[in-house]
């Protein structure tokens, strides 16, 4: 019989997490951290592998953070698959999974928030008011609990990584942020826990995000530099998919996220599209 690797240790309290981190530090170990909301897939696991390679004590958090969901969003439906997640993590030999309760993270009386400025305003910030306030707050709390030397984030959530980098720089949080490339399905769909919402037909339609980004790349390579023309082309391509509803199609500066008119330097193409009601995002850097 094949030996099953042991599931990682699960810690649910801040006190225990702090204790473990303190002992690891005393042993001189470098602490790596991967924050997630669970329903793990290869995208998350790529971050776990990077963390495992670069640090000697790896913490993965699994916490569906209520404060980053809007009132009309999918907090209640968000997939929660802790046992399966632990099985997936078992092979990596990570040290701890931190899976706190809402009560542990937001006890009665909780009333402090992290507001990141301009970088959090456009794109996701505009479509999901309060989202980045919830993200920045929970990530700062997790950083204070886990006290990592390095933390990993995915390019899939490009703006989120920028928001976290801004927060860490502005608030002097002693952690290094590393960003890993987006992991995709064979047909290009960016892996996401929300892909689980897609039935077979919607799953097929969802390839439009990556196809649109590839089209933008090809148009730029063929000499089209005008982002208004590119955006119009992508919009009509996406609108032709039944059940696809565009939140935004944007061509922005990769550092500031301000709109860019001409692709005469690297530009971030970013999309948010609802496919039969499931909201998906994707992005790609496009060089002239
Ligand atoms: P989530 O569980 O969706 O909050 O994501 C946790 C972390 O995994 C975030 O840093 C995401 O950017 C990252 N992530 C999610 N999907 C992917 C993906 N397809 N490729 C790379 N990183 C990802």
| Token code pair at residue 130 | 């309060």
Residue 39 Cα: closest atom of ligand 1: 2
CB 17 within 8 A of CB 145: yes
pLDDT at site 5:
85
Predicted confidence (pLDDT) per residue in 267-285, tens digit: 999 999 999 999 999 999 9
Q: Token pair for residue 225? A: 């530099």
- Ligand 1, pocket residues at CB < 6 Å: 36-37, 43-44, 46-47, 153-154, 156-157, 180, 182-183, 190-193
Per-residue pLDDT tens over the stretch 210-238: 999 999 999 999 999 999 999 999 999 99
Tokens 């303190």 belong to 22
- Of the residues 3, 44, 131, 233, which is catalytic? 44
Kindly report the pTM of this predicted structure.
0.98
Helix (H, G, I), strand (E, B) or coil at 126: helix
pLDDT digits (tens, 9 = 90+) for 243-269: 999 999 999 999 999 999 999 999 999
pLDDT surpassing 90 at residue 3:
no
Q: What is the pLDDT of residue 81?
A: 98
The residue to mutate among 153, 156, 187, 192, having the most atoms of ligand 1 within 8 angstroms of its beta carbon, is: 156
Q: Which whole number is the average pLDDT over 123-138?
A: 98
For residue 41, how far is the Cα from the chain centroid?
A: 12
pLDDT tens track for 28-70: 999 999 999 999 999 999 999 999 999 999 999 999 999 999 9
The angle subtended at Cα 241 by Cα 239 and Cα 243, nearest 5°, is 95
| % the chain with pLDDT above 70 | 99
What's the rounded mean pLDDT across residues 2-11?
Answer: 87
**In the predicted structure, residue 122 carries a pLDDT above the cut 70:** yes
- Structure token digits, residue 175: 């952690």
CA neighbor of 44 nearest in space, from 159, 191, 244, 212: 191
Instruction: Quickly list H helices, the chain.
Output: 14-26, 42-54, 82-90, 102-105, 124-127, 131-146, 158-170, 200-205, 208-221, 227-239
Contacts of 230 (CB under 8 A, 6+ apart): 216, 219, 220, 224, 251, 263, 269
Q: Is the pLDDT of residue 4 over 90?
A: no
Q: How far is the CA of 44 from the centre of ligand 1 (A)?
A: 5
| Protein residue closest via CA to atom 11 of ligand 1 | 154
44 in active site = yes
């Amino acid at each position: 019989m094949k030996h099953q690797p042991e599931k990682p240790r699960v810690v649910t309290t801040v006190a225990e997490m702090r204790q473990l981190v303190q002992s690891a530090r005393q042993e001189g170990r470098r602490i790596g951290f991967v924050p997630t909301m669970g329903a793990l897939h290869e995208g998350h696991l790529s971050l776990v592998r990077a963390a495992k390679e670069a640090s000697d004590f790896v913490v993965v958090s699994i916490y569906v953070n209520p404060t980053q969901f809007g009132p009309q969003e999918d907090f209640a439906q968000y997939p929660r698959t802790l046992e399966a997640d632990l099985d997936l993590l078992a092979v990596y030999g990570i040290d701890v999974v931190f899976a706190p309760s809402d009560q542990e993270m937001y006890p009665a009386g909780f009333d402090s928030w992290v507001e990141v400025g301009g970088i959090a305003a456009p794109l996701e910030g505009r479509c999901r008011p309060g989202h980045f306030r919830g993200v920045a707050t929970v990530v700062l709390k997790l950083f204070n609990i886990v006290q990592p030397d390095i933390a990993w984030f995915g390019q899939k959530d490009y703006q989120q990584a920028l928001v976290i980098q801004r927060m860490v720089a502005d608030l002097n949080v002693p952690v290094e942020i590393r960003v890993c490339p987006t992991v995709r399905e064979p047909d290009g769909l960016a892996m996401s826990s929300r892909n689980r919402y897609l039935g077979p037909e919607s799953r097929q339609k969802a390839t439009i995000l990556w196809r649109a980004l590839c089209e933008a790349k090809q148009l730029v390579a063929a000499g089209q530099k005008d982002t208004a023309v590119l955006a119009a082309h992508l919009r009509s391509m996406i609108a032709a998919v039944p059940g696809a509803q565009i939140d935004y199609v944007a061509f922005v500066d990769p550092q500031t996220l301000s709109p860019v008119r001409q692709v005469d330097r690297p530009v971030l193409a970013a999309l948010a599209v609802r496919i039969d009601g499931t909201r998906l995002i994707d992005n790609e850097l496009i060089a002239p």
